[in-house]
Amino acid sequence: MNLGKVVLLLLASIAVMLIFPVCGESQRTDQAKNAGKVAHETEAHVGTVSPCTLIRKSQVEEIFGEPFQDGEDKSPKKNPLGQRICFWNTAASRSFRFLQISIIKTSVMPANAVMGAATVFWQTRESLNPIQALAKLGDDAFWGTMGLHVLQGDVYIHITVGNSNRPGNLEIAKKVAAIVLGNLKN
């Protein structure tokens, strides 16, 4: 496993969650609060479940077209948002392909969390430029720096499959998202 790649991905995921200062209410924050109110209608059985359980290794291998190692839970120990992370690396030591899925769910956040999953999603969306808005994927979704970002109820899913500028990675991430979203509803 390329340890440098794992560390970089973990730091990038944590940075996304921590770079947003807590400030006054905005229109997007109000929208995010309203999005969280729909959570019980689309309640995902995420709880404290690792994203590693939301897609099988065989599905990852089929989507990427190459062998992968088992997914590893890389969730930070000190975690102000209750973020769960799973990382899959390819079996080939020289491959630059990987999959990382991060999940933040408002209903399982620590009591002292300063913002919900929808707020993190909207603030991430506002901070990235450029983005490509995507229809028919969760309640809202976009492709941008660091991958595919999906909001479904009170769950923010971030899927990274490698360089977001690489042709084909958006389609790979959408296939992963479809499986993850389907399993969140089960």
Where residue 113 falls among pLDDT bands split at 50, 70, 90?
A: confident
108: left (phi over 0), alpha (psi -120 to 50) or beta: alpha
Where residue 47 falls among pLDDT bands split at 50, 70, 90?
A: low
Encode pLDDT of 131-165 as tens digits. 999 999 999 999 998 899 999 999 999 999 988 88
Mean pLDDT of 83-91: 94
The CATH number linked to 44 is 3.40.1000
What residue spans of the chain are helical by DSSP H?
A: 3-18, 27-37, 57-64, 117-127, 169-184
Tell me if the pTM is above 0.85: no
Which helix (H) or strand (E) segment holds residue 72: the answer is strand 72-73
Instruction: Count the residues in the chain.
Output: 186
Quick one: pLDDT at residue 8? 36
Where residue 15 falls among pLDDT bands split at 50, 70, 90?
A: very low
Higher pLDDT, 63 or 47: 63
Q: Structural domain of residue 140, as residue ranges? A: 3-18+26-184
Residue 8 makes CB contacts below 8 A (sequence gap 6+) with none
* Residue among 87, 102, 67 nearest 180 (CA): 102
Q: How many domains does the chain have?
A: 1
Quick one: pLDDT at residue 175? 98
Out of 6-20, 69-83, 106-120, 122-136, give the one with best mean pLDDT.
Answer: 122-136
Report the amino acid identity of residue 4: G
Joined together, the tokens standing for residue 61 give 């291998």
DSSP state of 90: B
Where residue 97 falls among pLDDT bands split at 50, 70, 90?
A: confident
Mean pLDDT of 161-182: 93
* Residue among 85, 6, 10, 90 nearest 51 (CA): 85
CA pair distance 122, 10, nearest whole angstrom? 21
Mean pLDDT of 119-129: 96
* Residue among 182, 185, 180 nearest 86 (CA): 180
